[in-house]
Structure 1
């Protein structure tokens, strides 16, 4: 049974400084690539790429993440989660100007491939370090880090759109962003927690000497369950970006402005859910929040599909965004606290499976949509929410 977390203990100063540092790392991570997204049409025209060629170049990012993502665990145990997060974030930033400097498809795909590799390493490392800080706080703070990421992603996209629309040269923009974020990264690196990687854990798991830790059968099963849960979360979260506007225009004949609203509603409610998620988790426990998240995700998509009208669709995607908001942070937190499994290994494995969900769901929905209708195919997302509800017990804290 879950019990509310004691929030009366004041965290030590080094934990408060580290929380600011980890929040900053999440902001930098969310802000980096999203600055380049509004420039993609300009890059496409400048390089003379077809839609298919641009799509393949963009796919180099998730391909790099899937191909090399499992290296994050060894990196964390060799260098520590803090130094790994800072170092791999610098690699991402180093790749950003090369998007502007690309002279052909290969250079563009290469820059995005490096960005994808470094992004997945940073993701695992910053979440692992965030869990170190959370243990010192003795209450949930992981959702706030992801809320900062969401705000950064929106901010990066808005800045990129502003720069692209005002005629600023792309290299000046991406180069300037890189320079500023590099300085910020180096400044906050001095605020991260020192010491052995798993020193805050109370279950006897250390593994900070770089040696291998043998996982028990129960730990493997739990990690796989959490991995499937994160795959469901990834598919649900991606559905608004991949299919919200298409559904509004093709099935409901909505204007272009309204077509963007399911994604906006989903992102806005997801950010809100992450801002309040820690308090709700401390009050009701991770399993109860996971059950509610699954129900809201499934119910939101069901509302959008069962009552096919622009207003109900926008509301449904917003409810779905609120539901999925806490699934990613809570699942990664549970993966980093599996008894007998080093934090970096758990977060890396489950995070890697979550990225598979981001890749698998869009083509699955697309193939089904070609066979039936897009509205019929999107019921897969509601099923994913129901699956998340059933898998929520995997979020129970274990010692």
Structure 2
């Protein structure tokens, strides 16, 4: 059960990453195909992020009743429908409808895949979240390679091809859950203050991550003058370094602890962002994104693990505890979208004249990880739970 479920959960992360990066690495093509301005593209990303937040809240309501596995399958099928609707859209109105559906599905899959991952991590009693998020990154690398390999393929062709993946993964054997109404009093003693501190670190990560994956291709295209066929190279080195860091993240966390890992990563990430901001050409930009990915990658999975540990309650049976953790993870997932708002919208808005200034914002925010890292130690989490 554990092996098959672990593979299934990893496949859900993989499908989500592949779908998301196959979209964001082709934003310049979306921009030109539908005649969108950079402001219009920013508003489209804003809509996706807001609806993803709504999808996460929907998952919070549904998961306790029917089980996170069922809701995850529904989210994957929603993403499939969205890709089939948006890619071949003949005009902007249908594109907006398709992207709205995608936003909802994105939020549902984000929340429920993390619910499944946390549940398995607690079963085996060792760190698993970094490698699960690594599966998302691996999917993102595949999505990016598709964009690099098929630079002249239409948006419709790529979207329809990628849509097959979430459709297949929806049938995978996830962790079963009985479902049922949750006693609202069981969530009354959840320590929200330390969860907010952990959430602040998550916001920082997704600010940087979304700025990289959403605007990186546009930055390479408009600012660094990369050839059209190579604009996806902004995301690829970032994702490759992130994958390596996350694969190693399980062992490194167990050996050195989350606090040290986060502090070292924050310093490395700041160096990477500085290189990106001052890069005179796209090859230097590639180096900056590579360093950035290596430093920032483990922040998100460690944040979800910490939030789940804080949510565990005393004197609760296994079903009640899992329902409570699922509820916290769904709410915690909102930090993902707060960071995505800052990363996609603020970076795009500030960088309207030049995205160099847009990337200066996350360079400053990453420094907040240095004091926040102390909250992630197991001793601190145990005292705050």
Gaps of 5+ in 1: 1-13, 198-207
Does structure 1 residue 136 correspond to structure 2 residue 123? yes
In 2, distance between residues paired with 1:264 and 1:33? 13
> Where does structure 2 lack aligned partners over 5 or more consecutive residues?
314-320
Structure 1 residue 261, shift from structure 2 partner? 4.8
1:106 corresponds to:
93
- Indicate how the Cα distance of structure 1 residues 49 and 289 shifts in structure 2: closer, same or farther if over 3 A, else same: closer
Evaluate the alpha carbon distance shift between residue 185 and residue 266 of structure 1 in structure 2; reply closer, same or farther with a 3 A threshold.
same
Q: Does 1:192 find its partner at 2:171? A: no
Map of 1:182 onto structure 2 = 167
Cα gap change, 1:324 to 1:102, in 2 (>3 Å): same
- The alpha carbon displacement at 1:121 in A equals 1.1
Q: Deviations over 1:64-88 (max 9, x none)?
A: 1134432221222112222221121
> Is 2:17 the counterpart of 1:30?
yes
Residue 6 of structure 1 aligns with which residue?
none
Flag the 1:165–1:249 CA change in 2: closer, same or farther, 3 A.
closer
* Whole-Å separation in 2 of the counterparts to 1:185 and 1:350: 24
- Cα separation, partners in 2 of 1:117 and 1:248, compared to 1, 3 Å: closer
Query: Alpha carbons of 1:245 and 1:214: their partners in 2 closer, same or farther (altered >3 Å)?
Result: same
Q: Is the 8 A contact 1:25 1:86 kept in 2?
A: no
Question: What residue number does 1:170 align with?
Answer: 156
- SS of residue in 1 equivalent to 2:191: helix
CA RMSD of aligned residues (A): 3.4
Name the TM-score, length of structure 1 as normaliser: 0.79
Give the number of aligned pairs: 369
Is 2:380 aligned against 1:395? no
Change (3 A) 1:118 1:365: closer
Structure of higher CA gyration radius: 1
**Residue number among 269, 277, 298 corresponding to 2:270 in the alignment:** 298
Distance in 1 separating the partners of 2:345 and 2:221 = 19
Q: Is the 8 A contact 1:57 1:109 kept in 2?
A: yes
Rounded to whole Å, the distance in 2 between the matches of 1:114 and 1:297 is 33
Indicate if the aligned counterparts of 1:223 and 1:346 stay in contact, CA closer than 8 A: no
Q: Contact 1:143/1:278 (CA < 8 Å) preserved in 2?
A: yes
Query: 1:39, 1:308 → 2: CA distance?
Result: 23
